[in-house]
Structure 1
Amino acid sequence: MANNVPVPTYESLDKIYDSSALAKQGPRYNALVEKFTSIYGRKPDFIARSPGRVNLIGEHIDYCGFGVLPMAIERDVIIAVATTDDDSKVRIANMNPKYEPREFDFEGKETIVTIDSTKHEWSNYFKCGYKGMLERADNLEKPKGMYLLMDGTVPAGSGLSSSAAVVCTSALATIEANKLPLSKQELTEIAIVAERNVGVNSGGMDQSASVFSEQQYALHVEFVPRLSTRLVRLPETQPPMAFVIANTLVTADKFVSGPRNYNLRVVETKMAALFLSKVLDLPSSDSLKEVFDSYAAAAGKDNSEVAKYDALLERIANIFPQDSSNGQGYSLEEVSDMTGLPVQTLKEKYMTRFPVETDYFRLVQRTHHVLTEARRVVEFVDVCSKAPANTLEVLGSIMNASQESCDKFFNCSCPEINQVCEIARQHGAYGARLTGAGWGGCTVMLTTESNVPTLIEAIKDGYYRQKFPELSQDQLDDAVLATKPGSGSAVFNGF
């Protein structure tokens, strides 16, 4: 798809949302404009909008270089904006009263604005987009002053990328306020880098899905040789497909659990790639995507993408040496022997920048998950393009296989995720899997439009009311929700 197109401006909400959402979104936008007017004594000039996202397939493979398949959801962040030439101050308020109003000023071209990433401050995410955008605006000496009111419906900390939605929306608001001629690609690239100002080292999937998505489409995001996106139309099925997202409400503190979970998985995939590139006599690499590409190229066969994965999986089926831990994994000394790198080199290269804690490195299991999951992304896209009569069953089986692999081979599921997925399958979900990093967070289920109410009620009864009986109705509605593939970033001025 063309990545250098501008972010669209719409005067009608039906260009942004599915028709089923208009009865809810119309009053929401009206309330935002009314509240803005009551706070600032004037109407906004425009509203900037960016959605959250859910990843349909492709878990823990983006940092290995493989493509993923997210889609935007209806839940989003909207910011009403008015500008002034009287000063360069930014005044930002939130529709949610628990987020107190903030004000800051432009600090000059060198600094733009100071962001204290040690403080968990809601306005920092707006500052990220603001700072990232103005750093790119070479010809802008002094930005417009801005009056802002934000409203967000992406549940924070749910794995649906609420932070990326805020950063993309704030960057878009800054673009539009200062009439900067930037494309979707530039907005995405700036938002990816900008979010790192609050300590989030993003790979780019979240921002790409938030900016580039369109209604009725998923987005195939690839990272090698550079970030690129391609729209994948989700097929029209009979009965019509729908997706339900359920947040387990289990959170994994990345600072506490990262050394044994996320950080460790990254290191294990890199060590596996080093070993495979060595034993397969390929150029040395710590990227499983580069190993796959090199092997496929060396094979020289004009096979389908799925067949190339099958060939590599078959080739490495018995290639890993026996470990000394009865299948638990390899010691660091064994990894050293396998890769030919000294223990100290492995520690310095892979275990110092981000802390890692483990007794064993499970290279066999991690390799199996990454390669089969990357294959599942290709399969999912292929099924969407061919739309066989049993599309729902086939896509569901791919999602179920992904969940099983995440649970058994990548060990990034948890009992609560497994429970929600099982309840979903028992109540009309064709497929159910974790989405996001795992170890808690969200699940995504494929079902039919007519079955959505039944499925949601079953999850509320079988999971939330059992495990979290104190939840209010509003909290329940936030925790489990239906969604369709939604549109990406846009500017709205139809008021």
Structure 2
Amino acid sequence: MMPETFLSWWQFNNARGKQPDMSNKCPPVLHVPAAGEQAQRLAALSQTFISAFTQQPQFFTRAPGRVNLIGEHVDYCGYAVFPMAVEQDILVAVAINTSGRLNICNVDANFPPYSCDINNYEINKERPVWHNYILSGVRGIQDEGGMQQPFIGINMAVTGNVPPSSGLSSSSALVCASALGMAHSHGLSLSQETLAEICARCERHVGTQGGGMDQAIAFLATKDTAKLIEFNPLQATSVTLPPGATFVVANCLAPMNKAANSYFNCRVMECRLATQVMAKKAGLPWRTFQKLGDLQRALDKTLLQMITLVEDSFEVRPYSKRQVCELLNTTPDELNQVSLSENTRHIQEFKLHDRALHVFSEAHRVWEFKKVCVEGGAYALHTLGRLMQESHKSTQLLYECSHPKLDTLVELSKGLALGARLTGAGWGGCMVALVEEDKVEQYKEHLWKSYYSKEAAAEGRPRNTLLFSSPPGPGACVFVK
């Protein structure tokens, strides 16, 4: 069968009943915009696709980056988060091929092309390369999308304006856009919630033990609202932010790739160990507990009571691996198998008090943040700013995931911003600040003169790629011509 004949056959059969269900619960299928920046980016992506594969893309997928307003490092502990999607996004052009291969290219020449058998490939966790995130999305649909037959070959071309390694979830957006491309090209009808949960699990093929916030907001975001996202089961509540303020995102220019080292996963494991030690002390079967949130529910305590329990359970000092084993009455070998991930088994010291204290206090701040947004009032914006400041202090001192450059931006924000904090995993990346609308331009100019003009890495880069404000944007979608 000739490629053109095959494509016509595939499109005909797809149209006869294999198209995704276009209900409100599925990612929307929209027409390619006729004008504007997005139209220009899609046109440039099409040209890259045609040059690489000598065919037209059949459709495009889009997944946004995100900024987490509050609730850092709590999603993988089972607690709610408070993100919003930004306008910046990842775009993927997609078409099927008859070779049985997955062929990938990128508009940015710094990301080299890649090709593999679409039904037989490995994802190397030890080698953090950009195409691993696409492979993770493909693997997620293969494992959980409901396909009974081997996959058809796919060509993909990628472009994005989410700054990489900035804490705005460019990698998760790439996973989500790729998974959506695989699902749509094979006629799979998957809801936004299902896609979000699949993508949260499949990103672990890259080696990151995340909690699902990035993937949830990528699919569940709605224009002009932030989202309170809860897990188990996954659900998103739209929250309208108080009027009169804008969130400004500032890149500190210290990149962080959370899949490239064990910092991120170490925090996940420290929270898991704290969970298990407190479960053991409470007489519960500790091996069955993985998340602080599950422990709280089992103990039927409030978040404030859990904070007290942390203070009663741990000393404010690091615990050696041997001491953790003694507390759990277990062996290092069992601890490695039951509690630790592959890239954290070498760690010999864990800060259980500080990590658990951050999680419970941050989880409490999320609900306080939502309450203020709902109730409003004359002091609402100032209260939100205070909660953001408290959040940053907690991530800086208790979770130790900040960075000197982030701390500098937070300090420079005082006086002009109502509050500022790191956003994303930390160890670099971005800060988000709450700024009154009439002070936004003054604030941006202040940061540019006080910070960016002194940073060599900012030289020659457009301001809006380093320092920008964005209204809450929509979630992932499919674009068709």
Q: Sort the TM-score into its range (normalised by shorter chain).
A: 0.7 to 0.9
- Aligned 1:23-62 pairs, distance under 5 A: 23-37=36-50, 40=53, 42-62=55-75
Aligned to 2:468: 481
Aligned to 2:234: 228
Indicate conservation of the 8 Å contact 1:244/1:447, yes or no. Answer: yes
Q: How much does 1:351 deviate?
A: 5.6
- Alignment RMSD (CA, Å): 3.2
Q: How much does 1:448 deviate?
A: 3.4
Aligned to 1:92: 104
Q: How much does 1:435 deviate?
A: 1.5
Aligned to 1:10: 30
Aligned to 1:465: 453
Q: How much does 1:256 deviate?
A: 8.3
Q: Aligned AA for 1:310? A: L
Q: Are positions 1:309 and 2:303 aligned together?
A: yes
Which of 406, 422, 429 is the matching residue for 1:434?
422
Stretches of structure 1 lacking an aligned partner (at least 5 in a row): 15-21, 298-307
Deviations 1:327-351 (A, max 9, x none): 54455666566x4635757854546
CA distance in 2, matches of 1:154, 1:290: 34
Q: In 2 relative to 1, CA 67–421 (structure 1 residues): closer, same or farther, beyond 3 Å?
A: same
CA distance in 1, matches of 2:335, 2:142: 39
Q: How much does 1:443 deviate?
A: 1.3
Q: How much does 1:447 deviate?
A: 1.6
| Percent of residue pairs bearing the same amino acid type | 32
Aligned to 2:224: 216
**What secondary structure sits across from 2:442 in the alignment?**
helix
Indicate conservation of the 8 Å contact 1:66/1:289, yes or no. Answer: yes
CA distance in 1, matches of 2:280, 2:328: 9
Deviations 1:371-400 (A, max 9, x none): 111100111122222222332211111111
Q: In 2 relative to 1, CA 483–103 (structure 1 residues): closer, same or farther, beyond 3 Å?
A: same
CA distance in 1, matches of 2:202, 2:341: 24
Which of 368, 371, 378 is the matching residue for 2:360?
371
CA distance in 2, matches of 1:126, 1:157: 16
**What secondary structure sits across from 1:460 in the alignment?**
helix
Aligned to 1:106: 118
**What secondary structure sits across from 1:473 in the alignment?**
coil
Q: In 2 relative to 1, CA 425–292 (structure 1 residues): closer, same or farther, beyond 3 Å?
A: same
Question: In terms of mean alpha carbon deviation, does 456-465 or 173-182 score higher?
Answer: 456-465
Q: How much does 1:140 deviate?
A: 5.1
Q: How much does 1:421 deviate?
A: 0.8
Aligned to 1:130: 138
Q: Are positions 1:491 and 2:478 aligned together?
A: yes
Indicate conservation of the 8 Å contact 1:216/1:233, yes or no. Answer: no
Question: In terms of mean alpha carbon deviation, does 327-336 or 65-74 score higher?
Answer: 327-336
For these two proteins, the number of residue pairs brought into alignment is: 455
Indicate conservation of the 8 Å contact 1:128/1:194, yes or no. Answer: yes
Which of 365, 384, 388 is the matching residue for 1:395?
384
Q: Aligned AA for 1:157? A: S
Aligned to 1:244: 248
CA distance in 1, matches of 2:325, 2:127: 40
Deviations 1:201-241 (A, max 9, x none): 33222111111111122222323xx241212222240x2x3
Q: Aligned AA for 1:83? A: I
Indicate conservation of the 8 Å contact 1:57/1:68, yes or no. Answer: yes
CA distance in 2, matches of 1:201, 1:399: 25
Aligned to 1:443: 431
CA distance in 2, matches of 1:12, 1:462: 41
Indicate conservation of the 8 Å contact 2:208/2:259, yes or no. Answer: no
CA distance in 2, matches of 1:283, 1:114: 36
CA distance in 2, matches of 1:42, 1:116: 30
Q: How much does 1:181 deviate?
A: 1.8
CA distance in 2, matches of 1:58, 1:403: 10
Q: Aligned AA for 2:357? A: H
**What secondary structure sits across from 1:487 in the alignment?**
coil
Question: In terms of mean alpha carbon deviation, does 363-372 or 473-482 score higher?
Answer: 473-482
Aligned to 1:185: 193
Q: How much does 1:162 deviate?
A: 1.3
Q: In 2 relative to 1, CA 152–420 (structure 1 residues): closer, same or farther, beyond 3 Å?
A: same
Q: How much does 1:479 deviate?
A: 2.7
Deviations 1:260-286 (A, max 9, x none): x44443344344334444555667556
Q: Aligned AA for 1:374? A: A
CA distance in 2, matches of 1:97, 1:67: 38
Q: Aligned AA for 1:9? A: V
Indicate conservation of the 8 Å contact 2:92/2:181, yes or no. Answer: yes
Aligned to 1:272: 274
Q: Are positions 1:288 and 2:292 aligned together?
A: yes
Q: In 2 relative to 1, CA 193–330 (structure 1 residues): closer, same or farther, beyond 3 Å?
A: closer
**What secondary structure sits across from 1:66 in the alignment?**
coil
Question: In terms of mean alpha carbon deviation, does 162-171 or 343-352 score higher?
Answer: 343-352
Q: Aligned AA for 1:341? A: N
Stretches of structure 2 lacking an aligned partner (at least 5 in a row): 1-22
CA distance in 2, matches of 1:320, 1:139: 48
Question: In terms of mean alpha carbon deviation, does 138-147 or 399-408 score higher?
Answer: 138-147
Question: In terms of mean alpha carbon deviation, does 384-393 or 414-423 score higher?
Answer: 384-393
Q: Aligned AA for 1:396? A: G
Q: Aligned AA for 2:89? A: D
**What secondary structure sits across from 2:433 in the alignment?**
strand
